[in-house]
Structure 1
Amino acid sequence: MRGQIILSHGSDSGPDATKVSVLAAFAESLGWKTQRPDYRTDDLPGYAGSVDPRIQRLVAAIDTLDTPPVLVGSSMGSFVSGLASLQRPVAGLFLLATPSEIPGYRQAFDVAEGVPSLLYHGWRDDICPPEGVLAFAGRRRLPLIVVDDDHRLSDSIDRIVEQFGLFLTGLAA
């Protein structure tokens, strides 16, 4: 067994969402254990109101593990994965369609220093415009892949899986 991966879905979604499901199946095929918390009840208070409950659920999941996990997130799942990395050690962050901020939430997106990270975003993302994540990645010198796709990244699933495989291989090295 290679380790544990926690995959966090976006708002208006669930643990069986396409991206997290595909990435979980791929990781499991490589020998990783995965879990996908269900944040749907946490999302009921709206975007800003869901951040703290999501972080609490994610941190609680991390606390049950023997070793730091890799966190994978999509949209709101990316946002809370980054903030959770400030509270608990994590082995890596693989983040898709990351918002640079959640309107009404007290804190902008951030990640712990020194955590291996990869950001993946669509140029045509109208939910989380790329400018915010471009600026963040530039300030922190983090790897960022930007593709000709929208917020759902539906046209990029195969490339995302490929990058995820490279990311996991890099962590294992």
Structure 2
Amino acid sequence: MRGHIILSHGSDSGPDATKVSALAAVAESLGWRTSRPDYREDDAHGHAGCIDPRLVRLAAEIAASPAPPVLVGSSMGAFVSGLASLDAPVAGLFLLALPARIPGYPRAFAARPGVPSFLVHGYADDVCPLDEALNVARHHAMPALLVEDDHRLSASLPDIEAEFRRFLGRFA
């Protein structure tokens, strides 16, 4: 077993969502153990209200991991993955459709400096502005894949899977 990957779904989604399911399958095919926390109960508190409960749930998953895990997150899952990396050691961050901030939540996105990270974002994302996501990537010196897609990134899944394989290759 190569290590542990925790995949966090976005709001109004679930642990069986398309992107996290596809990336879990990629990771498992490469010998990684995966887990996908279910944040649907937390998401009932609204966008700003779900963040702290999500962080508690994600911290428990990280603490149960035998070694620092790689965190993968989509949208709200990406936001909390970055914040979680500030409080616990993680091996890497693979972030999709990243919101730089959540209206009503006092903290902007942040991640532990020095953690290998990668961003995937769509040019036509109408939920998480591209310019804000690129500013985050620039601030963190984070490589990025920009795709001709919207917030769901469903048209770009093969490209995302290929980039995820490359990203995981650095941990081999």
Query: Structure 2 CA distance, aligned partners of 1:134 and 1:65?
Result: 30
Aligned to 2:30: 30
**Matched-pair identity in %:** 63
Query: Structure 2 CA distance, aligned partners of 1:13 and 1:170?
Result: 29
Query: Structure 1 CA distance, aligned partners of 2:139 and 2:118?
Result: 14
Pairing 1:91-106 to 2, within 5 Å after superposition = 91-106=91-106
1:1-60 CA distance string (max 9 Å, x none):
000000000000000000000000111011000000000000011000000000110001
Query: Structure 1 CA distance, aligned partners of 2:66 and 2:76?
Result: 26
Report the AA paired with residue 55 of structure 2: I
Query: Structure 2 CA distance, aligned partners of 1:49 and 1:96?
Result: 21
Count of paired positions: 172
Runs of 4+ residues over 3 Å off in structure 1: none
Pairing 1:98-117 to 2, within 5 Å after superposition = 98-117=98-117
Report the AA paired with residue 170 of structure 1: R
Pairing 1:21-60 to 2, within 5 Å after superposition = 21-60=21-60
Query: Structure 2 CA distance, aligned partners of 1:65 and 1:12?
Result: 26
Question: Per-residue deviation at 1:101?
Answer: 0.2
Could you tell me which runs of 5 or more consecutive residues in structure 2 were left unpaired when the two chains were aligned.
none
Query: Structure 1 CA distance, aligned partners of 2:13 and 2:154?
Result: 14
Report the AA paired with residue 61 of structure 2: A
Query: Structure 2 CA distance, aligned partners of 1:95 and 1:44?
Result: 23
Aligned to 2:43, the other structure's residue is in SS state coil
Query: Structure 1 CA distance, aligned partners of 2:53 and 2:171?
Result: 29
Aligned to 2:151: 151
Query: Structure 2 CA distance, aligned partners of 1:57 and 1:66?
Result: 17
Aligned to 1:130: 130
Question: Per-residue deviation at 1:140?
Answer: 2.1
Query: Structure 2 CA distance, aligned partners of 1:95 and 1:140?
Result: 12
Q: TM-score, normalised by structure 2?
A: 0.99
Aligned to 1:61: 61
Could you tell me which runs of 5 or more consecutive residues in structure 1 were left unpaired when the two chains were aligned.
none
Aligned to 2:93, the other structure's residue is in SS state strand
Question: Per-residue deviation at 1:129?
Answer: 1.1
Residue 70, structure 1, aligned to residue 41, structure 2: no
Aligned to 1:85, the other structure's residue is in SS state helix
Question: Per-residue deviation at 1:81?
Answer: 0.2
